[in-house]
Structure 1
Amino acid sequence: MTKTERHSSPLDRKLQIELLEKMAAVYPAYLNVGKIPQNNGQHVRAVIANIYYLMEHGLCIAQEFDEIGSDVHLGPPKITAKGLDFLADDGGLDAILSVVTVRFDADTLKSLLANKIDETDASEEEKTFFKKQLEALPDAALKAGTSELVKLGLVSVPNIFHWLQTLAPHV
Protein backbone atom coordinates (compact mmCIF):
# COMPACT_ATOMS: atom_id res chain seq x y z
CA MET A 1 0.00 0.00 0.00
CA THR A 2 1.47 3.34 -1.04
CA LYS A 3 1.41 6.52 0.94
CA THR A 4 -1.19 7.93 -1.47
CA GLU A 5 -3.45 4.91 -1.03
CA ARG A 6 -3.35 5.26 2.76
CA HIS A 7 -4.10 8.98 2.80
CA SER A 8 -6.25 10.54 0.13
CA SER A 9 -5.40 14.23 -0.07
CA PRO A 10 -7.29 16.95 -1.89
CA LEU A 11 -3.95 18.61 -2.68
CA ASP A 12 -3.14 18.58 -6.38
CA ARG A 13 0.11 20.09 -7.72
CA LYS A 14 -1.28 20.52 -11.23
CA LEU A 15 -4.29 22.38 -9.87
CA GLN A 16 -2.06 24.53 -7.65
CA ILE A 17 0.06 25.60 -10.64
CA GLU A 18 -3.08 26.25 -12.69
CA LEU A 19 -4.52 28.40 -9.91
CA LEU A 20 -1.28 30.37 -9.52
CA GLU A 21 -1.02 30.90 -13.28
CA LYS A 22 -4.62 32.18 -13.45
CA MET A 23 -3.91 34.54 -10.54
CA ALA A 24 -0.68 35.71 -12.20
CA ALA A 25 -2.57 36.47 -15.42
CA VAL A 26 -4.76 39.04 -13.63
CA TYR A 27 -2.10 40.32 -11.19
CA PRO A 28 -2.32 42.68 -9.30
CA ALA A 29 -6.07 42.11 -9.24
CA TYR A 30 -7.85 39.33 -7.38
CA LEU A 31 -8.90 36.29 -9.41
CA ASN A 32 -12.58 36.30 -10.29
CA VAL A 33 -14.07 33.28 -8.52
CA GLY A 34 -15.84 32.33 -11.75
CA LYS A 35 -12.40 31.84 -13.36
CA ILE A 36 -11.33 29.19 -10.85
CA PRO A 37 -10.97 25.92 -12.74
CA GLN A 38 -13.71 23.47 -11.94
CA ASN A 39 -14.12 22.08 -15.43
CA ASN A 40 -11.41 19.47 -14.86
CA GLY A 41 -13.69 17.53 -12.54
CA GLN A 42 -12.31 19.45 -9.57
CA HIS A 43 -14.69 19.60 -6.67
CA VAL A 44 -15.12 23.07 -5.13
CA ARG A 45 -13.77 21.69 -1.85
CA ALA A 46 -10.54 20.56 -3.55
CA VAL A 47 -10.09 23.99 -5.13
CA ILE A 48 -10.57 25.68 -1.76
CA ALA A 49 -8.18 23.23 -0.08
CA ASN A 50 -5.51 23.96 -2.69
CA ILE A 51 -5.96 27.73 -2.44
CA TYR A 52 -5.77 27.46 1.34
CA TYR A 53 -2.58 25.40 1.03
CA LEU A 54 -1.06 28.03 -1.28
CA MET A 55 -2.07 30.70 1.26
CA GLU A 56 -0.31 28.81 4.06
CA HIS A 57 2.87 28.88 1.99
CA GLY A 58 2.50 32.60 1.30
CA LEU A 59 2.01 32.11 -2.45
CA CYS A 60 -1.41 33.78 -2.51
CA ILE A 61 -3.84 35.59 -0.25
CA ALA A 62 -7.61 35.44 0.11
CA GLN A 63 -10.05 36.58 2.74
CA GLU A 64 -11.27 33.70 4.86
CA PHE A 65 -14.83 33.52 6.09
CA ASP A 66 -15.58 31.03 8.87
CA GLU A 67 -19.12 30.13 9.68
CA ILE A 68 -19.91 28.06 12.75
CA GLY A 69 -20.81 24.53 11.71
CA SER A 70 -19.88 25.21 8.09
CA ASP A 71 -17.00 24.73 5.71
CA VAL A 72 -14.36 27.39 5.18
CA HIS A 73 -15.31 29.99 2.58
CA LEU A 74 -12.71 32.04 0.77
CA GLY A 75 -12.96 35.33 -1.03
CA PRO A 76 -11.25 35.79 -4.38
CA PRO A 77 -7.56 34.81 -4.26
CA LYS A 78 -4.65 37.04 -5.29
CA ILE A 79 -1.12 35.87 -6.05
CA THR A 80 1.67 37.33 -3.91
CA ALA A 81 5.18 38.35 -4.95
CA LYS A 82 6.36 35.04 -3.51
CA GLY A 83 3.84 33.24 -5.73
CA LEU A 84 5.03 35.13 -8.82
CA ASP A 85 8.64 34.28 -7.97
CA PHE A 86 7.65 30.63 -7.52
CA LEU A 87 6.29 30.60 -11.07
CA ALA A 88 9.31 32.40 -12.54
CA ASP A 89 11.84 30.15 -14.28
CA ASP A 90 14.70 32.05 -12.68
CA GLY A 91 13.19 32.20 -9.18
CA GLY A 92 12.24 35.86 -9.62
CA LEU A 93 13.48 38.64 -7.41
CA ASP A 94 13.44 36.32 -4.41
CA ALA A 95 16.36 34.41 -5.95
CA ILE A 96 18.32 37.65 -6.19
CA LEU A 97 17.29 39.14 -2.86
CA SER A 98 17.73 35.91 -0.91
CA VAL A 99 21.39 35.45 -1.77
CA VAL A 100 23.31 34.32 1.27
CA THR A 101 26.67 35.98 1.76
CA VAL A 102 29.15 34.16 3.96
CA ARG A 103 31.89 36.31 5.44
CA PHE A 104 34.91 35.18 7.39
CA ASP A 105 37.02 37.72 9.15
CA ALA A 106 40.74 37.42 8.52
CA ASP A 107 41.49 36.02 12.00
CA THR A 108 38.87 33.26 11.66
CA LEU A 109 40.15 32.25 8.23
CA LYS A 110 43.76 32.27 9.45
CA SER A 111 42.76 30.13 12.42
CA LEU A 112 41.02 27.59 10.15
CA LEU A 113 44.04 27.44 7.88
CA ALA A 114 46.45 27.13 10.82
CA ASN A 115 44.42 24.17 12.12
CA LYS A 116 44.65 22.58 8.68
CA ILE A 117 48.41 23.10 8.68
CA ASP A 118 48.61 21.38 12.08
CA GLU A 119 46.76 18.35 10.65
CA THR A 120 49.33 17.77 7.93
CA ASP A 121 52.18 15.26 8.06
CA ALA A 122 54.74 18.03 7.68
CA SER A 123 57.53 18.41 10.20
CA GLU A 124 57.05 20.79 13.13
CA GLU A 125 59.65 23.07 11.57
CA GLU A 126 57.65 23.27 8.30
CA LYS A 127 54.37 23.77 10.17
CA THR A 128 55.87 26.65 12.16
CA PHE A 129 57.29 28.24 9.00
CA PHE A 130 53.97 28.09 7.11
CA LYS A 131 51.94 29.32 10.09
CA LYS A 132 54.29 32.35 10.33
CA GLN A 133 53.81 32.94 6.59
CA LEU A 134 50.06 32.72 7.11
CA GLU A 135 50.11 35.23 9.98
CA ALA A 136 52.19 37.64 7.88
CA LEU A 137 49.69 37.58 4.99
CA PRO A 138 47.91 40.88 4.57
CA ASP A 139 44.10 40.69 4.74
CA ALA A 140 43.83 41.67 1.05
CA ALA A 141 45.98 38.71 -0.02
CA LEU A 142 43.97 36.40 2.22
CA LYS A 143 40.74 37.72 0.72
CA ALA A 144 42.01 37.16 -2.82
CA GLY A 145 42.93 33.57 -1.97
CA THR A 146 39.56 32.73 -0.40
CA SER A 147 37.80 32.09 -3.74
CA GLU A 148 40.60 29.78 -4.79
CA LEU A 149 40.31 27.90 -1.48
CA VAL A 150 36.57 27.39 -2.05
CA LYS A 151 37.24 26.06 -5.58
CA LEU A 152 39.89 23.69 -4.26
CA GLY A 153 37.54 22.55 -1.51
CA LEU A 154 34.80 21.77 -4.02
CA VAL A 155 37.24 19.80 -6.19
CA SER A 156 38.16 17.81 -3.10
CA VAL A 157 34.56 16.75 -2.42
CA PRO A 158 34.57 13.23 -3.91
CA ASN A 159 30.82 12.79 -4.08
CA ILE A 160 28.91 16.07 -4.08
CA PHE A 161 25.54 14.28 -3.80
CA HIS A 162 26.58 12.39 -0.67
CA TRP A 163 28.03 15.55 0.83
CA LEU A 164 24.81 17.49 0.19
CA GLN A 165 22.78 14.69 1.80
CA THR A 166 24.89 15.00 4.95
CA LEU A 167 23.85 18.66 5.15
CA ALA A 168 20.11 17.91 4.81
CA PRO A 169 19.58 17.10 8.55
CA HIS A 170 20.92 20.58 9.36
CA VAL A 171 18.32 22.39 7.23
Structure 2
Amino acid sequence: MKLDREVQLTILKALAEVYPGTTRDVLKEKGIRHNIGLANLAYLVEHRLVSARLSTTNGRDLTPGNSQKITAAGLDFLADDGGVSAILGTVTVKFHEESLKQMIELRLSEAQLPTEEKHRLLQSVRELPADSIKHLTTRLLDLGMDNLPRAVELIRTVLT
Protein backbone atom coordinates (compact mmCIF):
# COMPACT_ATOMS: atom_id res chain seq x y z
CA MET A 1 0.00 0.00 0.00
CA LYS A 2 1.29 3.43 -0.90
CA LEU A 3 -0.19 5.19 2.13
CA ASP A 4 2.45 5.64 4.79
CA ARG A 5 1.87 7.46 8.09
CA GLU A 6 5.55 8.42 8.39
CA VAL A 7 5.50 10.01 4.93
CA GLN A 8 2.30 11.85 5.81
CA LEU A 9 3.83 13.12 9.04
CA THR A 10 6.97 14.24 7.19
CA ILE A 11 4.84 16.19 4.72
CA LEU A 12 2.73 17.80 7.44
CA LYS A 13 5.73 18.77 9.59
CA ALA A 14 7.59 20.21 6.60
CA LEU A 15 4.59 22.33 5.64
CA ALA A 16 4.05 23.39 9.27
CA GLU A 17 7.63 24.73 9.38
CA VAL A 18 6.91 27.24 6.60
CA TYR A 19 3.35 28.09 7.66
CA PRO A 20 1.68 30.46 6.78
CA GLY A 21 3.80 30.27 3.66
CA THR A 22 3.70 27.65 0.94
CA THR A 23 6.20 25.22 -0.51
CA ARG A 24 6.78 24.67 -4.23
CA ASP A 25 7.48 20.92 -3.98
CA VAL A 26 7.46 19.42 -0.50
CA LEU A 27 8.05 15.94 -1.90
CA LYS A 28 11.28 16.93 -3.66
CA GLU A 29 12.45 19.05 -0.70
CA LYS A 30 12.04 16.10 1.67
CA GLY A 31 13.39 13.48 -0.73
CA ILE A 32 10.14 11.53 -0.82
CA ARG A 33 9.74 9.14 -3.77
CA HIS A 34 7.36 10.69 -6.29
CA ASN A 35 4.67 7.98 -6.53
CA ILE A 36 4.60 7.31 -2.76
CA GLY A 37 4.67 11.03 -1.99
CA LEU A 38 1.86 11.87 -4.40
CA ALA A 39 -0.42 9.17 -3.00
CA ASN A 40 0.14 10.46 0.53
CA LEU A 41 -0.16 14.12 -0.48
CA ALA A 42 -3.44 13.36 -2.29
CA TYR A 43 -4.68 11.55 0.82
CA LEU A 44 -3.84 14.56 3.02
CA VAL A 45 -5.55 16.90 0.53
CA GLU A 46 -8.67 14.71 0.52
CA HIS A 47 -8.78 14.94 4.32
CA ARG A 48 -8.30 18.73 4.11
CA LEU A 49 -5.08 18.65 6.13
CA VAL A 50 -3.10 20.06 3.20
CA SER A 51 -4.01 22.45 0.42
CA ALA A 52 -2.45 21.65 -2.97
CA ARG A 53 -3.49 21.80 -6.62
CA LEU A 54 -3.09 18.24 -7.76
CA SER A 55 -3.39 17.99 -11.51
CA THR A 56 -2.84 15.43 -14.20
CA THR A 57 -0.47 15.67 -17.11
CA ASN A 58 -1.16 13.70 -20.28
CA GLY A 59 -4.44 12.56 -18.76
CA ARG A 60 -3.07 10.16 -16.18
CA ASP A 61 0.14 11.23 -14.37
CA LEU A 62 -0.60 13.19 -11.19
CA THR A 63 1.55 16.21 -10.28
CA PRO A 64 1.55 18.14 -7.00
CA GLY A 65 1.29 21.57 -8.62
CA ASN A 66 3.63 24.33 -7.50
CA SER A 67 2.14 25.28 -4.13
CA GLN A 68 1.46 23.13 -1.08
CA LYS A 69 0.32 24.52 2.25
CA ILE A 70 -0.77 23.00 5.55
CA THR A 71 -4.31 23.94 6.56
CA ALA A 72 -5.61 24.90 9.99
CA ALA A 73 -6.96 21.35 10.29
CA GLY A 74 -3.48 20.02 9.48
CA LEU A 75 -1.90 22.19 12.17
CA ASP A 76 -4.52 21.09 14.69
CA PHE A 77 -3.85 17.46 13.73
CA LEU A 78 -0.19 17.97 14.64
CA ALA A 79 -1.00 19.77 17.90
CA ASP A 80 -0.81 17.56 20.98
CA ASP A 81 -3.96 19.14 22.37
CA GLY A 82 -6.00 19.08 19.16
CA GLY A 83 -5.50 22.80 18.62
CA VAL A 84 -8.30 25.28 18.17
CA SER A 85 -10.49 22.55 16.64
CA ALA A 86 -10.61 20.84 20.03
CA ILE A 87 -11.77 24.06 21.66
CA LEU A 88 -14.31 24.88 18.95
CA GLY A 89 -15.54 21.30 18.91
CA THR A 90 -16.38 21.31 22.62
CA VAL A 91 -20.07 20.83 23.23
CA THR A 92 -21.66 22.29 26.32
CA VAL A 93 -24.79 20.55 27.52
CA LYS A 94 -27.16 22.48 29.73
CA PHE A 95 -30.23 21.05 31.40
CA HIS A 96 -33.13 23.26 32.38
CA GLU A 97 -34.29 22.89 35.98
CA GLU A 98 -37.67 21.53 34.86
CA SER A 99 -36.03 18.88 32.67
CA LEU A 100 -33.94 17.70 35.61
CA LYS A 101 -37.01 17.57 37.84
CA GLN A 102 -38.87 15.51 35.22
CA MET A 103 -36.01 13.01 34.95
CA ILE A 104 -35.82 12.62 38.73
CA GLU A 105 -39.61 12.34 39.02
CA LEU A 106 -39.68 9.65 36.34
CA ARG A 107 -37.16 7.54 38.23
CA LEU A 108 -39.01 8.03 41.50
CA SER A 109 -42.31 7.06 39.84
CA GLU A 110 -40.75 3.82 38.59
CA ALA A 111 -39.08 3.02 41.93
CA GLN A 112 -40.27 0.10 44.04
CA LEU A 113 -41.43 2.20 47.00
CA PRO A 114 -44.57 2.28 49.10
CA THR A 115 -47.13 4.55 47.44
CA GLU A 116 -47.22 7.01 50.32
CA GLU A 117 -43.44 7.42 50.39
CA LYS A 118 -43.32 7.75 46.60
CA HIS A 119 -45.91 10.58 46.65
CA ARG A 120 -44.05 12.35 49.45
CA LEU A 121 -40.73 12.20 47.57
CA LEU A 122 -42.32 13.32 44.30
CA GLN A 123 -43.94 16.29 46.02
CA SER A 124 -40.65 17.22 47.67
CA VAL A 125 -38.81 17.16 44.33
CA ARG A 126 -41.48 19.34 42.71
CA GLU A 127 -41.04 21.94 45.46
CA LEU A 128 -37.24 22.07 45.36
CA PRO A 129 -35.67 25.38 44.31
CA ALA A 130 -33.21 25.47 41.38
CA ASP A 131 -30.08 25.42 43.59
CA SER A 132 -31.29 22.32 45.41
CA ILE A 133 -32.08 20.58 42.11
CA LYS A 134 -28.56 21.43 40.92
CA HIS A 135 -27.06 20.00 44.11
CA LEU A 136 -29.24 16.88 43.97
CA THR A 137 -28.34 16.32 40.31
CA THR A 138 -24.63 16.62 41.12
CA ARG A 139 -24.98 14.08 43.91
CA LEU A 140 -26.93 11.70 41.63
CA LEU A 141 -24.24 12.05 38.96
CA ASP A 142 -21.55 11.28 41.55
CA LEU A 143 -23.51 8.22 42.65
CA GLY A 144 -23.83 7.10 39.04
CA MET A 145 -20.08 7.50 38.49
CA ASP A 146 -19.37 5.54 41.66
CA ASN A 147 -21.46 2.70 40.23
CA LEU A 148 -19.90 2.65 36.76
CA PRO A 149 -18.18 -0.70 37.39
CA ARG A 150 -21.61 -2.25 37.98
CA ALA A 151 -22.91 -0.62 34.80
CA VAL A 152 -19.98 -2.00 32.80
CA GLU A 153 -20.62 -5.46 34.23
CA LEU A 154 -24.30 -5.19 33.28
CA ILE A 155 -23.41 -4.16 29.72
CA ARG A 156 -20.94 -7.03 29.46
CA THR A 157 -23.61 -9.49 30.68
CA VAL A 158 -26.19 -8.24 28.19
CA LEU A 159 -23.79 -8.28 25.24
CA THR A 160 -22.32 -11.73 25.83
In structure 1, distance between residues paired with 2:31 and 2:155:
39
Q: Which residue of 1 aligns with 2:140?
A: 149
Runs of 4+ in 1 over 4 A off after TM superposition: 159-165
Q: Which residue of 2 aligns with 1:49?
A: 39
Taking every aligned residue pair, what percent have the same amino acid on both sides? 36
In structure 2, distance between residues paired with 1:164 and 1:24:
44
Helix, strand or coil: the match of 1:37?
Answer: coil
Q: List alignment gaps of at least 5 residues for structure 2.
A: none
Aligned residues: 153
Deviations along 1:20-78, one digit per CA (max 9) or x if unpaired, are 1111111111123132332xxxx311111111111121211111223452122222321
1:78 and 2:69 aligned? yes
Using structure 1 for the length normalisation, give the TM-score.
0.77
Correspondence for 1:121 among 93, 105, 112: 112
Q: Is the 8 A contact 2:50 2:68 kept in 1?
A: yes
Helix, strand or coil: the match of 2:17?
Answer: helix
Helix, strand or coil: the match of 2:131?
Answer: helix
Q: List alignment gaps of at least 5 residues for structure 1.
A: 1-8, 166-171
Larger of the two Rg values belongs to structure: 2
Using structure 2 for the length normalisation, give the TM-score.
0.82
Aligned-residue Cα RMSD (Å) equals 2.5
Correspondence for 1:17 among 6, 9, 13: 9
Helix, strand or coil: the match of 1:158?
Answer: helix
Q: Is the 8 A contact 1:11 1:50 kept in 2?
A: yes
Deviations along 1:117-150, one digit per CA (max 9) or x if unpaired, are 1232221111111111111112233234434433
